[in-house]
Each structure stands twice: as C-alpha cells, then as structure tokens.
Amino acid sequence: MANNAIAPAVAAPETGPDRNDGEGNGHSVPILLQYWDILWRRRLIILGALGLSLLAGAIATGMATPIYTAVTKIEISREQARVTNVEGLESERAGQAQEFYATQYELLRSRTLAERVVRKLGLARSNEFFALYGVDADAGGSTAAKVGLSPTEAKAREQRAVALIQANVDIEPVRGSALATIAYSSPDPAWSSRIVNAWASEFIQNSLDRRFASTAEARAFLEKRLQDLRLRLDQSESELVDYAVSRNIITLKEAKGEGGVTQIVQTLTGADLEALNRELAGATVDRVKAEANAAVLLRRGDNMQSVDNAAIGRLRERRAQLNGELAALLVTFERDYPPAQALQQQIEAIDQSIRNEQSRFSNAASTELEAARKRENDLRAKVSKLVSALTSEERSGIQYRILQREVDTNRQLYDALLQRYKEIGVAGVGANNIAVVDPAVPPNAPSSPNLLINLILSMIAGLGLAGALVLILENVDQGIRDPAVVEQKLGVPLLGVIPETSTDEPLDDVVDPKSFISEAYVTVLSNLAFSTDHGVPRLFMLTSTGQAEGKSTSALALAAGLARSGKSVIVVDADMRIPTIDKRIDKRGTDGLSNYLAGDDNLDAMIHTLDFGNLRVLPSGPIPPSAPDLLGGERMGMLVGELLKRFDHVVIDAPPILGLADATLIARNVEGVVFIAEAERGAIRAISDAVGRLRTAKARVFGLVLTKYSANRLGYGYSYGAAYSYNYGAKGRGESGSDDRPAGPFRND
C-alpha cells in the first residue's frame, strides 16, 4: 500500500548527550570525558605505537656508533686592549652593539672558518677522517691513499670535509657571560679534541686576519695615492730647481711660514748686496773723513795734521829739546860757539825733516782722499748693479714662490698620507679580544647514544605517532559515536539508543520487560508514537546501511513491545537474500514471502505463530533468483493490504539499502521507515547516502535507532547499568551470533 501522510515526530529522544537521561536530568558531556573516551577506545593503538617506538629506540641505541664530544670554551670580549695608541678605522664603540655577540656566534658557524680548519688539519687528504663517518671521500671511488689528487678531486674532497665538520660542530653561548662553548662530535675522541681545538685557534686567527683585512682597501688606496703624490712631488721639486738654476736664484736661508709654506729669508744676491752696502757705507765714511782732513790741511796749515802725525810730533819734540839745549848754551856762550853751532845745525836738520814730513803727509792726504773717493764710487756701482739684479730676482721670485708652494703642498699631502698609511699598518696591532679559556681534551666516555634520552625521545615520538594515528582514525572513522550528531549531521530524529549487552542472545533481554534492552525499545516505540497522528505506525519497515547492525533484532524487539501491549503484530522477513528471522524461528527454506510474491495465495500456511503473545512471523521463504522483480510487482501491495486487515501492526524487516534496490521497492508500500545504525560502525556519509536514497524513493524516514551503544563510555547518564556491554555476535553469522539455535522466547509454535 502507498505511503500515508504521517505527521512528523514532535518529541525528541529521551536519551543521548545534551538531553535528559534515564532519570530526567539534563546535562552535557565534559570535554575531558570525550578525550578520555577517545584514548580508551584507541588504547591498543596508543600502546602499540609507544611499544614500537620504545623498541625502535632501544634497538637504535644498541646499534648506534658511540659518539665522543670534545668541548672547548672561549671568551669573546667586547673591548680589546690596544698595544698602540693608533686609532683604527672602526669606531671604539663598534663592538658594543647588541648584535656583536650574535655576529660572533654566526662567524663561529661560518663555512669560511670550517674551510680554514679543513686546510689547517689537511682533512681533505685524510682518508682516516672520512672513514670515521663511513663516507666515501671520492664519491664512488676508492678511499685508498692516492699519490696525488687533481684540483677537481681535491676541491670535491674539501667540500665534503667542510660539510662533515659543519654538521658535527655545535656552538653554544653561555648565558649571561662573554663565554661560548665549541663542541665537536665524532666516533674518535682524539679527532674530536683535535678538530675543536683547531676550530678555536682558527677562529682567533680569522678574527685577526679580518681586522687587518678591514684596512686592506684603505692601504691599497693610500699606496696608489702615495705613488701619485710622490711623482707629483718629484716633478714639482725638479721644476723648482730648474727654474732657480735658470734664474740664478741661490737661496741661502729659508723659514717655514704659516701653513708650513717655505719662505725665502735670504738669497745669494741679497747677501751680496747687504755686504756691499755695508762696505759702501764704510767707504763713504772714509771718503768724508779724508775730505775733512784735506780741508783742515788747506785751511789751517799743519797744526791739526801735526798733532795727528806721530813722526812730526817726535821731530818737534826733538827740536824743542835741542832748542832748550841751545838756549842753555847761549846763556853762557855765543852763537859761534861750536857746540852751539852744532845744536843749531841739528835744529835746522830737524826742521828740514819736519818740512819734508809735512810735505809727504799732505801728499798722502790727497792720495787717500782720491782713493776713498774711487773706492766709494766703485762700491756704489756694484751696489747699483746688485740692486738691479735683486729687483730682477724678486720678480722671478714670484714664480719661484709659486713653484715652492706647490712643492710644499705636495710634500705636506705626501707626508700626511704616509703618516696615515703607517698608522693603518699598525692599527690592527692589539691584544686579541678572543681567548681560549678551556682547551678541549679527548673525552673518556661517549656522549651518545644515551639510552635514557633515546627512550624518552622514542616515547615522545611514539606519543606523536599515536596521536597522529588516533587523529587520522578519528577523522577517517566517521561512525556515530555521539548520539547528539544524528539530527545535526543526518537531518533525521533520533528515536532511541539501544545499549550493547554481553549476553549471547539479545532477544532474551527483549522478552524481559524489566531489562535495559526492553526499556530502550519501549523508548523507541514511545518516540515512534509521536511520528504519526494515530500513534505508532501500523505499517513500517526497518532497514540499515549494511548487514549485522541489529536490524532484525530491532524488528522483533519492536514487534514484541507492541505485542506486549495487547496488539496483534506480524513481522515480515523481507530480506530474501540473507534471511535472518528465518534462522531465529528455524524456518529456513519453508514457504514465506517469496512464495506469496511468486503467486502462492496460501498465506495462512506461511504465517507462523511465536510463543510470545499475539506475535506472528512471515518468513522470507526460499531465496528467489531475482528479489527486486518480486518486490517490484503488485503482489507486495496486496500482501501488506491483507496483513493490515488481519493485524494491528505490520513490521517489515527489510534488506540493507546500500547497493540493493530491495529496500527502496519495499518503502513504496509502507507508511515510513525506521533506520537502524550500529554505533561506531557505519560511516556517517554512508548513512546519509542511504537516507538520501530513501527520500529519493519518496519514502518517509521516521527516525534513526542507534544500536550496540556503550553508554558508560562517555558518561552520558544512561541509567542502564553495567548490563550494557553485550555483543551482537560475529558479523558473518547473523546478528544473533548463532547459526541454528532458535531464539528462546521467540520459538515458533
């Protein structure tokens, strides 16, 4: 018969998270309990991942090669003590920047430093070094010692050696200090200490080299400038000398003026002029004196000159003496007295001598005057000539001073640059700001592998692996674990949640009205009663996504619940492919649904009575060649119409929906569909597709029943007790877990 227009459900299920529990107390599930549920459900995966990780860590530790780590400690000072007072090119505060130490640590890790260490220790040619790490030094060639290496081979080996030591060195600053540790790890303790000590020493040397290299460009520039200035200075000096020679400028005395410029104090011409000028002044004095003497002689006779003439004075003294003697004789004797005459003759002779001397002196004064005048005139002529020469020299001195200033300027520039060049040459000389505090010694014990650390790391890795697996499984496994998501993700009401049980036959709990299973199905019937305007639908079918989800058990349980209320109920096993109810009532192969649909009208012979109130069962009958052909015919509608005349309720156990057309064909003849889904089994996407197929077939879905649910897991508050832990049995043996044993309370008559 066709679907009836049935009112939608108006009541929500009574159980499930975020809803009322069995006692009517509403609550939500704490997030920690949800996480605990995930951990508990996946405990085997988590423990397995941890176990495998710990086992792998222990095996890796046992098989690992012992590694020895040598450590040296260095001090990196921000200020360096200068041996010289020469200031370098860099500012004194250059090392005080915050990035100073970060720069030093990166320099310690630099490839350039690694290359210096490789070259210093000759690691590129050491096969022993490559053998420590099990590396083929020649990348496919033999590691045996060679007589010689080509430049290409040497370069390739050097690059491999650099990569190896860079991968095994570790730089670690000591917090809160200017210290840093350099650690190197290798399978050989001697090699470790040797390399790490070489690393520290090469870092110190590299620091010094960089300090000198920082002035290399400046030195090269200054050298070029000094060479140019030297040429210019030589050229300017040559031009100055050539000009002085051509102009006969001979400098006797020079002095440094302002700005270091050379000034001429005295030249040879000037010195000659100065000397001649002094001589001219003396000659003029002598000439004036000679003229004065000559004038006195002419004007006063010989008096003035006699005084000044010693010879005349002596003669006059002698004459006076003789005159005295003569006067004394004349007092006694006459003039003709011979002694008197002799004295008179002597006096006359002296007078003659005086006259002769005066005459000579007068001639000498004239001669002296002439000589003085001639000398003065000669000197004056020479002075005039030197004045002309000096004047010409002064004119030439202008160009000379220009050339001299150019020479001085070039010399000053050359001296300044030379001084700066010398300063730069010694600017890097200072006490190094890097010192080794503790040199490395060969370690006595290996630093790795460390069993405890490896196990801890393995545990962490195992936890990470377990977390990843759990995350993947939780996202891949999209089965319904939380009843609250049914309406949210499927868009159908949740009719009820059926707990799982540990009993072999769940129908044994169904017949007991006080059992948790029975109460759960009563809840389903109560919610189902709100789905139509006439209570529980008279004709409905149960289907599921796949096999063994509790569909047949739920059909019998719902039918038993209706029969318990005094209704006449028949259960139709419409799964003609893998019949389940037939097994439960031990009627496999007997006449049933397939016979009626094939044309057999003996319906009474096909209906079997169960020892449970007014409950009847119509088995599926023999398995037909094509179940869809039978279900798609008119006799399916005739069957349900006839059954509704005889019974108050007809419950159809339909086949699973995915992959089969049977369920959609049956759905056309019922009021609606109750969808059965096993908790945590079928993917939500598959369930949604199945519900979508039913709706496409114009079937009404009353709601979903969640079966085999472990309510205690998340603490959802179901008051069903510990009896919830039952199992529906192996999937391949039907839902009851038994192949041939009839259900106890559902035995046929």
Pair (49, 119) in one structural domain: no
Distance from the first to the final alpha carbon of the chain: 29
Angle between helices 451-476 and 43-63 (to 10 degrees): 150
Quick check: is 150 in a domain? yes
Nearest one of 91, 74, 77 to 431, comparing CA atoms = 77
Q: How many domains does the chain have?
A: 4
Residues 287, 350, single domain; the answer is yes
Shared-domain flag, residues 579 and 725: yes
Of these ranges, 353-362, 563-572, 707-716, 728-737, the one predicted with the greatest mean pLDDT is 563-572
Q: What does the pLDDT average to over 259-278? A: 68
Considering the domain architecture, whether residues 469 and 391 belong to the same structural domain is answered as no
The phi and psi torsions of 218 (rounded to 5 degrees) equal: -65, -40
Kindly state whether residue 23 falls inside one of the protein's structural domains: no
Phi and psi for 418 in degrees, rounded to 5? Answer: -65, -40
Residue 83's pLDDT is what?
A: 43
Q: Show Cβ contacts of residue 740 under 8 Å, excluding neighbours closer than 6 positions.
A: 583, 586
Over residues 61-73, the pLDDT tens digits come to 888 888 889 999 9
Residue 1 domain flag: no
Residue 55, H or E segment: helix 43-63
Q: What is the pLDDT of residues 564-592, one digit of tens each?
A: 888 999 999 988 888 887 777 666 667 88
Long-range CB contacts for residues 393-401, cutoff 8 Å, separation at least 24? 393/247, 393/248, 393/249, 393/267, 393/269, 393/270, 396/243, 396/247, 396/249, 397/249, 397/264, 399/243, 400/240, 400/243, 400/244, 400/247, 400/249, 400/264, 401/263, 401/264
Cα 283 → chain centroid: 98
pLDDT tens digits, residue range 40-53?
878 888 999 899 99
Which tens digit of pLDDT belongs to each residue from 249-261? 776 666 565 555 5
Furthest-apart CA pair in the chain: how many Å?
237
Contact 546, 656 (CB under 8 A): yes
Domain with residue 589: its CATH number is 3.40.50.300
Same domain, 515 and 411: no
Same domain, 402 and 453: no
Give me the residue label for tokens 């995966």.
Answer: 45
199, part of any domain: yes
Lowest mean pLDDT among 147-161, 261-275, 488-502: 261-275
Lowest mean pLDDT segment, chosen from 286-295, 544-553, 626-635: 286-295
Contact between 186 and 195 under an 8 Å Cβ cutoff? The reply is yes
Mean pLDDT value of segment 271-278: 77
pLDDT band at 710 (very low <50, low <70, confident <90, very high): confident
Arithmetic mean of pLDDT over the chain: 77
The pLDDT of residue 19: 43
Q: Is the pLDDT score of 170 beyond 90?
A: yes
- At 738, the pLDDT band (50, 70, 90 cuts) reads very low
Model's pTM, two decimal places?
Answer: 0.47
721 and 651: one domain? yes
Residue 466 inside a domain? The answer is yes
Look at residues 536, 489, 479, 530 and name the one whose alpha carbon lies nearest to residue 710. 479
Please tell me the predicted confidence (pLDDT) of residue 547: 84
The predicted model gives 396-423 an average pLDDT of 80
Whether the predicted pLDDT of 745 surpasses 60: no
pLDDT of residue 325: 80
Q: Are 596 and 606 in contact (CB under 8 A)?
A: yes
**Residue 650 scores a pLDDT above 90:** yes
Task: Please check whether residue 49 lies inside any domain of the structure.
Answer: yes
Residue 10 in domain: no
Query: With helix as H, strand as E and coil as C, how does 390-413 read?
Result: HHHHHHHHHHHHHHHHHHHHHHHH
Does pLDDT of 711 surpass 60? no
pLDDT, position 194: 93
Token pair of 533, please? Answer: 């305007």
Q: Which of 18-27, 444-453, 648-657 is modeled with the greatest confidence? A: 648-657
Q: Which of 165-174, 248-257, 396-405, 554-563 has the lowest mean pLDDT?
A: 248-257
Provide φ and ψ at 184, rounded to 5°: -130, 135
Same domain, 372 and 471: no
> Are residue 415 and residue 351 in the same domain, yes or no?
yes
413 domain-assigned: yes
**Are residues 482 and 523 part of one domain?**
yes
570 lies in the same domain as 681? yes
Cross-strand pairs, 499: 709
Share of the chain above pLDDT 90, in %: 16
Task: Kindly report the backbone phi and psi dihedral angles of residue 720, in degrees, each rounded to the nearest multiple of 5, phi listed first.
Answer: -95, -10
Same domain, 397 and 488: no
Q: Tens digits of per-residue pLDDT, 468-480?
A: 888 887 776 567 7
- Parent domain of 534: 478-733
For the chain, give percent helix, strand, coil, nearest 5. 55, 10, 30
